[in-house]
């Protein structure tokens, strides 16, 4: 019985001791603009995924021609691949990037923006059906907003 009370007392003591320590969130010293850029890149990936699903639904319903759907698929894959490479690199940051890492991030972000420009100019703008174009443009606006947040981090 005495050992049971001692064990309970020890568990309570350890619990209160553990609760008394303050956690700094993992010790990350990455400044706010880079954290926001990483979050925006993640949001961009989600929006590209959403656009892919909407494109598939529009193709299935006949609102997109097969050729237009294939073209959009290719452009969405290009944008997704570019965003994923950027996201993977920016998530590796444990501190603000040194000049070499910043140059790598800038190059990766330039690839993302190039892919997004192609997606808009060659994928969305040529669509003739107003409703279809409106649905895709709405999602693209979210992607553009995420891109602006990344650009504001001052990588380039």
Residue closest to 150 by CA, chosen among 95, 100, 82, 99: 82
Residue 3 lies in a domain: no
Q: What is the CATH number of the domain that holds 85?
A: 1.20.120.230
Residue 11 lies in a domain: no
Residue 107 lies in a domain: yes
**Quick one: pLDDT at residue 21?**
39
Q: What pTM value is reported for the model?
A: 0.77
Place of tokens 């956690």: 23
Give per-residue pLDDT as tens, 5-25: 544 444 444 444 444 433 444
Give per-residue pLDDT as tens, 79-134: 999 999 999 999 999 988 999 999 999 999 999 999 999 999 999 999 999 999 99
Residue 156 lies in a domain: no
Number of domains the chain contains: 1
- Identify the band that residue 155 occupies on the pLDDT scale cut at 50, 70 and 90: confident
The DSSP call for residue 62 is T
Residue 105 lies in a domain: yes
């Amino acid at each position: 019985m005495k050992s049971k009370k001692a064990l309970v007392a020890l568990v309570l003591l350890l619990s209160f001791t553990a609760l008394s320590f303050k956690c700094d969130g993992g010790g990350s010293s990455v400044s706010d603009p880079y954290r926001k850029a990483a979050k925006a890149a993640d949001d961009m990936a989600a929006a590209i995924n959403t656009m892919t699903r909407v494109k598939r639904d529009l193709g299935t319903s006949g609102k997109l021609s097969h050729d237009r759907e294939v073209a959009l698929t290719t452009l969405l894959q290009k944008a997704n691949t570019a965003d994923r490479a950027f996201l993977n690199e920016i998530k590796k940051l444990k501190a603000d990037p040194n000049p070499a890492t910043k140059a790598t991030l800038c190059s990766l972000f330039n690839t993302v923006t190039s892919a997004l420009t192609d997606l808009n100019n060659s994928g969305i703008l040529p669509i003739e059906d107003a409703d279809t174009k409106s649905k895709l443009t709405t999602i693209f606006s979210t992607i553009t907003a995420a891109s602006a947040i990344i650009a504001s981090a001052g990588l380039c």
